[in-house]
Amino acid sequence: MNGQAVRKVVIAGGGTAGWCAAAALSKTLGKLVEITLIESDDIGTIGVGESTIPTVRTFHDILGIDERALLRATNATFKLGISFENWAREGDHYFHAFGTIGRSPWMVPFHHLWLQARAEGYGGDLGDYCLELKAAEAGKFTKGDNGPLNYAYHLDASLYGQFLRRMSEAAGVRRMEGKITRVDQDAQTGFITAVALEAGEVIPGDLFIDCTGFRGLLIEQTLKTGWEDWGHWLPTDRALAVQTESAGELMPYTRAIAHDAGWRWRIPLQNRVGNGLVYCSRYLSDDEAYGRLKAGLDAPALFEPRVVKYATGRRLKTWNKNCLAFGLSSGFIEPLESTSIHLFHLSITRLIQMFPSGGITDALVDRYNEMARSELEMVRDFVVLHYKATERDDSAFWRDRRDMAIPQTLADRIALFVESGHAYQNAGDLFRVDSWVQVLLGQRQVPKTWHMAGSLIDREQSRRGMDGLRANIARTVAAMPSQTQFIAQYLAERPMAQPA
């Protein structure tokens, strides 16, 4: 297709990934391309994901989404991070917050100064220097000058897809109801030329986006792209999900609580609480997982739990010929760090930036695939860290995780931090230095040495500076309303705005 302009985009599958793609393409390139989305009401979507990371706000800014309208439409709450319980040891607790830790001089990140202070007997906990962490622990939230918080959302993924659908259709996206029963390809190039529906209609296209979930109808069943399995690093392959009635205050964080064959989540929305149990079926049966999830609920369930089966890994190519795989069809890293929706957004944003207006070329496809591979592998390493860096010895699952071989890229990161206290963020790396530091320390990876910059500061000056930082954060948090109070006030400030 070199030199052939792309004018017709066909999205196979709806759900969160499909409607994210449709909304972004119609908002940015809608005047240049014709967009058709095909989905069937008879084919269910996963719709479990209810947690995001702060990059979601940049995506929403691109789409011009009004935040209050989003919160109302998806029953969303605010999220300041993730509380990890029982990971390195049973009874352990640490927080991966979205904020910046302390104030860093140009020479080194703040945690080096804190490590020096701690060695000299003062400095408190590292989390004392993160506004988002302390606000989350207190159940507080606000916006504006009184609380410059870095935040994301908890939201209902099914309602989020519907919200984006309304935006997309209003912007000219054509939705077609039906199941795809045939995929037509060019006999010489193998490029997809059209898809046919059960009712007989044929939809031609120049570029096809596969949002058909794990089955990968276009990218795998048709184009035989191939799969790289990551189950030896990330062995969980099941998730049981259920919603319960709301109970208590709306805490602005996700809970990730480890158990002897995986972990469970708790995510508060305005109208209910999302609960789930992630596990590996080699170590825990579905029936045992069901009983464990039900026993751990702190409020009545709104329906019976449902099981979602998955595999961790990636397609060997995200873009193959004239087909791109978005969402679960492109690969999956388990939901521990809430990266799935981010990866949808990243994929469609990159496509918009690299859109093949003048035709699909090998050089363009290769560059897209390399960026997608690198970013996904860095996210993979961050999630694998939570499993590898453990001292748990209470079950075969955790002993196997502790003893497993890991990607060399991750092994090098851990060694660098333990030996010298250094953490880093690569170009294209989703997680910042502060994120790596919080998880490494939370998983009991304690540096043997650190940068000497802290020893250059007078001890009393250092102590006063750290005391002042902690006190300022404590005052700021004390003045904030609870998240429950803030949401009620925030949503009452003006009438509901519907997507255009």
Given CA atoms 97, 299, 484, 124 in this order, what sign does their dihedral have? negative
- Written as one letter, the residue type at 118 is R
Beta-carbon neighbour count of residue 190 at 10 Å?
14
Burial category of 229 from C-beta neighbours within 10 Å (exposed 0-12, middle 13-18, buried 19 and up): exposed
Q: Are 207 and 260 in contact (CB under 8 A)?
A: no
- The residues pairing with 257 across neighbouring beta strands, listed in sequence order, are 85, 264
224 is written with which tokens? Answer: 């035989």
Question: What distance in Å separates the CA atoms of residue 73 and residue 159, rounded to the nearest whole number?
Answer: 7
Q: Can you give the three-state secondary structure of 245-258, one letter per residue?
A: CCCCCCCCCEEEEE
Q: Under DSSP, is residue 36 helix (H, G, I), strand (E, B) or coil?
A: strand
- Quote the DSSP letter at residue 219: I
CA distances from 124 to 113, 114, 118, 456, 466 (A): 12, 9, 7, 20, 9
Q: Give the largest CA-CA distance in the chain.
A: 79
Q: Are 434 and 101 in contact (CB under 8 A)?
A: yes
Q: Under DSSP, is residue 330 helix (H, G, I), strand (E, B) or coil?
A: coil
Question: What distance in Å separates the CA atoms of residue 203 and residue 218, rounded to the nearest whole number?
Answer: 14
Contacts by 57-64, CB closer than 8 A, 24 or more apart = 57/151, 57/152, 59/20, 59/24, 59/345, 59/349, 62/24, 62/27, 62/28, 62/349, 63/23, 63/24, 63/27, 63/167, 64/27
Question: What distance in Å separates the CA atoms of residue 275 and residue 287, rounded to the nearest whole number?
Answer: 17
Is 294 annotated as catalytic? no
Beta-carbon neighbour count of residue 487 at 10 Å?
20
Tell me which of 31, 79, 309, 388 is the catalytic residue: 79
- Written as one letter, the residue type at 291 is G
For residue 363, give the H/E element and its range.
Answer: helix 362-388
Q: Are 213 and 325 in contact (CB under 8 A)?
A: no
CA distances from 440 to 131, 137, 355, 381, 420 (A): 19, 20, 38, 12, 13
Question: What distance in Å separates the CA atoms of residue 348 and residue 355, rounded to the nearest whole number?
Answer: 10
Catalytically annotated residues: 79
